[in-house]
Amino acid sequence: MSTFDEPSLFPTATSSIMNLLPSRSQTSYTAVTTNHDLLFSVVVDNYARIRGEQMEEPAGAIKFDFDMINLIIHPQTDELGGTVVVVYGEAKIWASEWVYTTQLRIKTGTADRKTPIRLVDKGLFRIGKWLPPIKLRVVDSAVKRIKLEFKFTNMLYEQLPYFHAGDVVLQFKGGTTLCADKNLLALHSRYMGEFRACLSSASLLYEAADGAIIDMGDFEMEAFRELLYQIYATRRPIETDLPRIARAANAYRADIILSKLTTHIRALDVSSFR
């Protein structure tokens, strides 16, 4: 559901499943060009109806442009042949972390536009980059129109740094680079604080001139990028890529991040015994 690989485990999250029965009302809809024969309408904060747009991938999905994300509605067929409508979000910028909390009202109706739609369910939900989707199961074939009314109560969004700016340049195999703040690196790792920059071999890292290059040898750039996300205290969850973060934190002796990793793993161990 995002351009980043998602974590393989969601230890505290479960999908929300609702059973939809027919209902009644009049509004404008976006049709799904699949054999599900459904019409969808999305309204945000009681007044803003969003125009839907068919997506090429995944086939049969509709996206509704809202704020920094696209709300995506994707009707699917489950293993029993029933229709399940999957609702989730996708950030417009891949390098971002986000979680939106919303009140959601679900209204349904038959194919007859003269009959009104009616409220069939409501609840408080969270959608986010690492959260499972909301699933709406259509249990009556008479349901042909589905209207989703979102009222967002909290929107946490952070664009992650690209590491194009910083006072030292970390150079990896193949010439790829990341820029970072030398004082942050030295603060999180005394080992890195003793690195000597290629352009100023007599200086320790925190004394290096702006633009000094640090040779990172054969170490994987993506693993170090994950470590930098933690060093820079972004909203990126530490469990996003534990193997890479652990590898980088161990290799560069980033004690503060190693402590966070230990705390997280212990918490997982404790929760597994409950």
Residue 44: which residues within 8 A CB-CB, separation 6 or more? 50, 66, 149, 150, 151, 152
The per-residue pLDDT of the chain, averaged, comes to 85
Instruction: Name the residue among 90, 115, 98 with its Cα closest to residue 27.
Output: 115
What is the band of 12 on the pLDDT scale with cuts at 50, 70, 90? very low
Residue 203: the pLDDT is: 65
Residue 8 has pLDDT above 60, yes or no: no
Q: Are 45 and 96 in the same domain?
A: yes
Identify the CATH number of the domain in which residue 134 sits: 2.60.40.3230
- Quick one: 21 and 155 in the same domain? yes
Token duo for residue 41: 């309408």
pLDDT band, residue 271 (cuts 50/70/90): low
Pseudo-torsion of CA 164, 168, 172, 178, nearest 10°?
-20
User: How far apart (Å, rounded) are the C-alpha atoms in residues 52 and 67?
Assistant: 14
74 and 115 housed in the same domain: yes
Q: Residue 169 pLDDT more than 50?
A: yes
Rounded CA-CA distance 172/182 in Å is: 16
Please report how many Cα atoms fall inside a 13 Å half-sphere around the Cα of residue 273, on the Cβ side. Answer: 5
- For residues 37 and 7, the model is more confident at 37
Range of the domain at 69: 16-159
Residue 51 placed within a domain: yes
Shared domain for 27 and 151, answered yes or no, is: yes
Contact between residue 220 and residue 241 where contact means Cβ atoms under 8 Å apart: no
Using CB atoms within 10 A of its CB, is residue 163 exposed (0-12), middle (13-18) or buried (19+)? buried
Report pLDDT digits (tens) over 92-131: 999 999 999 999 999 999 999 889 999 999 999 999 999 9
Split into its structural domains, the chain has a count of: 2
Tens-place pLDDT, residues 171-195: 999 899 999 999 999 999 888 887 7
Record the pTM.
0.80
The string of pLDDT tens digits covering residues 33-68 is 555 689 999 999 876 788 999 999 999 999 999 999
Above 70 in pLDDT, residue 6?
no
Q: In what helix (H) or strand (E) does residue 157 lie, and over which residues does it extend?
A: strand 145-159
Residue with tokens 């939809």: 20
Q: Is the pLDDT of residue 254 over 50?
A: yes
Among candidate residues 111, 142, 159, the one where a domain is terminated: 159
Residue-wise over 17-45: b if at least 16 C-beta within 10 A, else e? ebebebbbbeeebbebeeebebbbbbbbe
**Per-residue confidence (pLDDT) for residue 206, from 0 to 100:** 76
Q: How many CB atoms lie within 10 A of CB 270?
A: 9
**Residue that finishes a domain, picked among 125, 159, 193:** 159
9 lies in a domain? no
pLDDT value at position 13?
Answer: 37
